[in-house]
Amino acid sequence: MSMIEIDQVSKWYGAFQVLADCSTQVNKGEVVVVCGPSGSGKSTLIRCVNGLEGIQQGNIIVNGIALADLKTNLSKLRSRVGMVFQNFELFPHLSVTDNLTIGQIRMLGRSKEEAQARGLKMLDRVGLKAQAAKYPGALSGGQQQRVAIARALAMDPICMLFDEPTSALDPEMVKEVLDVMVELATEGMTMMCVTHEMGFARKVADRVIFMDHGRIVEDAAKSDFFGTPRSERVQLFLSKILQH
């Protein structure tokens, strides 16, 4: 049963083709890692999944709902698809608690008390219960990213999208964020993660997708990907990443 279906998707910025005939799917409970060189279209692809970017060709179906369908309530769908960004994107003018509750109250119609209880539970889960009253600016990058994950989780997402969640972090903070993500993965959350953390991929990914120039060049089970990658491009990329 697939949670996310990407079917022959192409996208252009003017004359420039960012995505070229991309097809893949993420099944329920699956963890799929997307990697590839800078500018290959990873962010664009993942942003298309919840409709932050439109596409000109193909189809994207999330939880059985086609994004392109005019009857689709995109807002409602997005409220149940968690997304974590490279730059955290917490709302700086709101406290951590308000960051955690604003979506629940406005989009899920939860009461303030209910939303706070749920938000605090998620905050506790990422190990930051003590920071509830602070503002994002007073937190470290790693802490901000964990709050951002908690904010997404508080919406009871049916799946989670991550776009390079650790690449803006100082090295010593990468682990605390990855630990949260690993825990989520082992608990069975459906996840699509753009990341170059190959340790994470080895540990919890079911499949790894490799992109280059807007194309999905490799889409393989983890063991195949790290064992016998088919394309030279992937081999080169892996050898580069594994060097450091």
Partner 1 sequence: MYEFDWSSILGALPILSHGMLVTLEITLTAIVIGILWGTLLALARLSDIRPLAWLAAGYVNLFRAVPLVMVILWFYLIVPALLKDVIGAAAGSDIRMVSALVAFALFESAYYAEIIRAGVQSVPKGQVNAAYALGMPYALTMRLVVLPQAFRNMLPLLLTQVIILFQDTSLVYVIGLADFFGAAYKVGDRDGRLVEMVLFAGAVYFVLCFGASLLVRQLRKRFAT
Ligand X SMILES: Nc1ncnc2c1ncn2[C@@H]1O[C@H](COP(=O)(O)OP(=O)(O)OP(=O)(O)O)[C@@H](O)[C@H]1O
> 115, 148, 118, 143: which is closest to 131 by C-alpha?
143
- State how far the Cα of 111 lies from the Cα of 62, in Å rounded to an integer: 27
Residue 40 in the binding site for Mg ion (CB under 5 A): no
Shortest Cβ 156–partner 1 spacing (Å): 12
Residue 43 in the binding site for Mg ion (CB under 5 A): yes
State which amino acid sits at residue 32.
V
Q: Which does 157 bind (CB under 5 to 8 A by kind): Mg ion, ligand X, partner 1, none?
A: none
Residue 80 in the binding site for partner 1 (CB under 8 A): yes
DSSP codes, 68-95: T-TT--HHHHHHTEEEE-TT----TTS-
Q: Which does 13 bind (CB under 5 to 8 A by kind): ligand X, partner 1, Mg ion, none?
A: ligand X
Closer residue to partner 1, CB minimum distance, 75 or 243: 75
The sheet that has 65-66: what strands, in order across it? 16-27, 2-13, 57-62, 65-66
Q: Which of 4, 5, 35, 78 binds partner 1 (CB under 8 A)?
A: 78
Structure token digits, residue 66:
């086609």
34 to 73, contacts with partner 1 by CB under 8 A? 47, 50, 52
Residue 200 near residue 169, CB atoms below 8 Å: no
6 to 65, contacts with ligand X by CB under 6 A? 13, 16, 18, 36, 38-44
Residue 165 in the binding site for ligand X (CB under 6 A): no
DSSP codes, 165-214: TTTTS-HHHHHHHHHHHHHHHHTT--EEEE---HHHHHHH-SEEEEEETT
- State how far the Cα of 36 lies from the Cα of 40, in Å rounded to an integer: 6
Q: Which of 146, 151, 196, 207 binds partner 1 (CB under 8 A)?
A: 151
- State how far the Cα of 47 lies from the Cα of 54, in Å rounded to an integer: 9
Residue 195 in the binding site for ligand X (CB under 6 A): no
- State how far the Cα of 92 lies from the Cα of 1, in Å rounded to an integer: 38
Shortest Cβ 87–ligand X spacing (Å): 11
Residue 93 in the binding site for partner 1 (CB under 8 A): yes
Closer residue to ligand X, CB minimum distance, 13 or 91: 13
Binding site for ligand X (CB under 6 A): 13, 16, 18, 36, 38-44
Binding site for Mg ion (CB under 5 A): 43
Binding site for partner 1 (CB under 8 A): 47, 50, 52, 75-83, 85, 87, 89-93, 102-103, 106-107, 151-152, 155
